[in-house]
Structure formats: C-alpha cells, structure tokens
Amino acid sequence: MKSVEDLIELFKLHTQCLGDEAAQDDVWQMIIQQRVELDDQKAAIKELDDLLNTARKVLENAAEAAYISGCEYSAVTANEKLHTTNVLVENAQMASQKMDVQLAQAQKEDITEVMNFEDSNLESDQES
C-alpha cells in the first residue's frame, strides 16, 4: 500500500514539474522504478494468495478429518482460524482495490494536466 501511495505522490509531483523537462524526466524515472517495485509486490502477493488457497484446502480437509475422528474441538478451532484468515485477506484485498482506484485517478489527473499543458504551449507557439 505504501508503494501505491508513493506512486500517487510521484504523479502529483510530475504534474507540478510541468515545464521543467529535466525535473519531469527525473520524476518519470522514479515513477517507472516505483511501478516495477509495485509489480514485484503484486506478483509476491499473488504467490502468497495461491499458497493461502492451498493451505485453506488442506486445513478444511484436516478439520473435516478431525471432526470425523471425534476431535470436534480441533475442527472448530481450525474453522475459526480459517474464517479469521479469510476475513483478513478479504479486508486487505478491498483496501488494495481502493488504492488501485486512487492510483488510476492520479494517473488520469496527470494525463489531463499534461495534455492541458501541451495544448497551452501549442496555442502560445501558434500565436508567436
């Protein structure tokens, strides 16, 4: 989440640097680097999600086996832990989706500002 927040701030900084090509290039390089880091983190999260799904299936089967063999307490405890884990993962996924929406909005605003800046430069060049 920190990476997304940093990327949003870099887009805002990029907008503030319009007109200073060297600063824009520097900020753009930081944006690219931050995107690479964010992509790496998303790939790691995907791997963890796959691992969690496998663990979830194993735990469900173990809980069922425990219940069948008369270890009801173990089955109930395993199901409670599984439920808690599911809630935590779902909350993290919802927060991640909200951050993705905010990132998309920041990108949209940056593109709009760059287009407006370029249009105003084009108009002033034509007037000259």
Residue 45, pLDDT above cutoff 90:
no
64 falls in which pLDDT band (50, 70, 90)? confident
Long-range CB contacts (within 8 A, 24+) of 86-91: 86/56, 89/49, 89/52
Question: What's the mean pLDDT in 33-42?
Answer: 92
pLDDT, residue 128, reads 62
pLDDT tens-digit profile of 2-37?
A: 889 999 999 999 999 998 999 999 999 999 999 999
pTM of the model: 0.75
pLDDT tens-digit profile of 103-118?
A: 999 999 999 999 999 8
Q: How far is CA 11 from CA 20, 55, 61, in A?
A: 15, 38, 47
How high does pLDDT run on average in the chain? 88
Contact (Cβ atoms closer than 8 angstroms) between residue 51 and residue 85:
no
Contact (Cβ atoms closer than 8 angstroms) between residue 4 and residue 99:
yes
Residues in the chain: 128
pLDDT, residue 25, reads 94
Strands (E), 21-124: none
Question: What's the mean pLDDT in 89-115?
Answer: 92
Contact (Cβ atoms closer than 8 angstroms) between residue 101 and residue 7:
no
More confident residue, 67 or 52: 52
Percent of the chain with pLDDT over 70: 99
Question: Could you tell me what percentage of the chain is helix, strand and coil, using 3-state DSSP and rounding each to the nearest 5?
Answer: 95, 0, 5
